A and B are shown apart, each in its own frame.
Chain A
């Protein structure tokens, strides 16, 4: 549920810039297939969650409306799980990654607010992930994100990520990237 503006505490322009910069950097790591460096941005307690979206009537909504914690998901990962996904990408026998998938990740509509405790930031954003494979395949995934970012020295780590796509049917065969 979206908090009303009065209940939110927006960060300063400078802090907004630093966090946006960090998230853009994170996306560039994915586009460059620097998966180990990407994984290093995850907090040890990361919860990386992309629930399945269910097309339900308003009178039959779930715990969170179109999704629920105990229902099926695309990602519902901790650090070990993300590490396993990265490990697959790095195998020479990941046949469907050679030739490589070419990625463009975009982040927009970034809002940054102070979290509940010092050094925690809540970030709302929208994203677009474009993948191309082969000569002519193109897959686009749009969605919204809610991140919990924590300060780590003068850098940041990602502690929670909630990824919500509008689609109840994924328009492609897989998600061979992170969002």
Chain B
């Protein structure tokens, strides 16, 4: 099969990673945010291997609808097939490697390379070239020179993921029990969710991990970092997370979901009472669909990262990918997700509310960016980069008797998810194949 991406040789893992990533002792070091050699290992052993979010199904409803994005730094086209399925191709012509699709989204019957006129259909097959006769004279086998297709594509509740690695576990195995928690946002109503049109892209001078970790389990920063935004939007401080009677940090395979059960703590910061009201209105039906427990999570104080770089906030309904662009540069792709069945005016308030809070102009995000950039930039200093950074909150907070699925830790103000995120990252960088990745999961793999 000439159209499947060639598997690359695995390079040796770096030595000395333990010095900058020692989670048993709750320590990392800034070098992991600034080092070029580490970054190159990440592109190979994380981004060319893990399941990566590439699209929401609602973005490409009809045959030939496509979006372009990146998997790591590899440019890809995500396109709906006649069969209803979705294919993901490298956005590079197999002749000289030129980009074949320059648009970010649209609808097409195929792609034609601007360089030598190689033409591909929706299925990615090469169907023609400029001066096609000369290829025939060279016994050219067209069937072997289609667009290169990624190893696997699968979706979960409308979220489309892809992986370059044929040996990757299934998406279901990869997400594990975190999928059960994701339903609180992505499957709380009949009909599921859709993305609002468009994608806001912005550029950070920071390492992608610091942002991904912020969503995997760092609600601790919110009360301090976002004080100004909360006062602007609500006229008062952010809810004091330590006051919540019940909250959790749950992780699995490096993914993490931290949450309270206050139903509307996140949505409230959008300052639109109609959205609080909407969530309260649908809550009984969510309880019927997902049970009481998860009906408390539909817009609660919570956040999630699916390893490595896909994150979302229930309530604010912002969905994002932290795209790596070098050890100290990141592009942020931001979307807004809404329930398909929600009234139009509710969708509209979410479109604007997410923009107002968590986007490059959002009053909350405004105070995140500088923190993330300087967590990265201080590691430019050779000495600073090697110093221990504390990531040790909640070392003994694992809950062993809980009915909840996943590795469940008590409380949101806890760095258990951050440790699990960096541990999985460390394990990936130290593994030559998926079979070498140690299984550190200790909780229930499925909901009871």
Query: A146-169 interface mask toward B, CB cutoff 8 Å, 1 = contact, 0 = none?
Result: 000000000000000000000011
Q: Min CB distance, B147 to chain A, in Å?
A: 17
| Residue from A57, A71, A88 within 8 A of B198 (CB atoms) | A71
Stretch at the interface among B26-34, B162-170, B295-303, B363-371: B363-371
With A84-B233, A171-B203 as known contacts, state yes or no: A95 contacts B102, CB within 8 Å: no
**Do B203 and A173 touch (CB < 8 A)?**
yes
Determine chain B's interface SS by DSSP, over half rule: mixed
Residues of B within 8 A of A74 (CB): 200, 355, 359-361
**Do B351 and A173 touch (CB < 8 A)?**
no
With A72-B336, A88-B228 as known contacts, state yes or no: A172 contacts B202, CB within 8 Å: yes
Query: A80-98 interface mask toward B, CB cutoff 8 Å, 1 = contact, 0 = none?
Result: 0100110110011111110
CA distance A60 to B203 in the complex (A): 26
**Do B369 and A71 touch (CB < 8 A)?**
no
Number of B interface residues, CB 8 Å?
A: 46
Residues of B within 8 A of A84 (CB): 232-233, 271, 356, 363
**Do A85 and B359 touch (CB < 8 A)?**
no
* B197 within 8 A of partner (CB): yes
With A75-B361, A172-B202 as known contacts, state yes or no: A87 contacts B232, CB within 8 Å: yes
CA distance A68 to B198 in the complex (A): 9
Stretch at the interface among B73-81, B104-112, B280-288: B104-112
| Residue from B233, B348, B366 within 8 A of A96 (CB atoms) | B366
Number of A interface residues, CB 8 Å?
A: 41
* A12 within 8 A of partner (CB): no
**Do B196 and A71 touch (CB < 8 A)?**
yes
**Do B365 and A174 touch (CB < 8 A)?**
yes
**Do B227 and A56 touch (CB < 8 A)?**
no
Q: Min CB distance, B129 to chain A, in Å?
A: 21
CA distance A152 to B54 in the complex (A): 50
Residues of B within 8 A of A55 (CB): 102-104
Residues of B within 8 A of A92 (CB): 228
**Do A52 and B200 touch (CB < 8 A)?**
yes
> Looking across the interface, which residue of chain A has its beta carbon closest to that of B372?
A173
With A74-B200, A175-B360 as known contacts, state yes or no: A95 contacts B104, CB within 8 Å: no
CA distance A133 to B334 in the complex (A): 24
Residues in A lying within 8 Å of B, measured CB to CB? 50, 52, 54-57, 59-60, 62, 67-68, 70-77, 81, 84-85, 87-88, 91-97, 133, 168-176
Q: Which 4 pairs show the lowest CB-CB distances between chains A and B?
A: A60-B106, A71-B198, A91-B228, A72-B198
Q: List 8 A-B contacts (CB under 8 A).
A: A56-B105, A71-B196, A74-B360, A85-B232, A95-B367, A169-B202, A173-B369, A173-B373
Residues in B lying within 8 Å of A, measured CB to CB? 102-108, 196-205, 225, 227-229, 231-233, 271, 331-332, 334-336, 348, 351-352, 355-356, 359-361, 363, 365-367, 369-371, 373
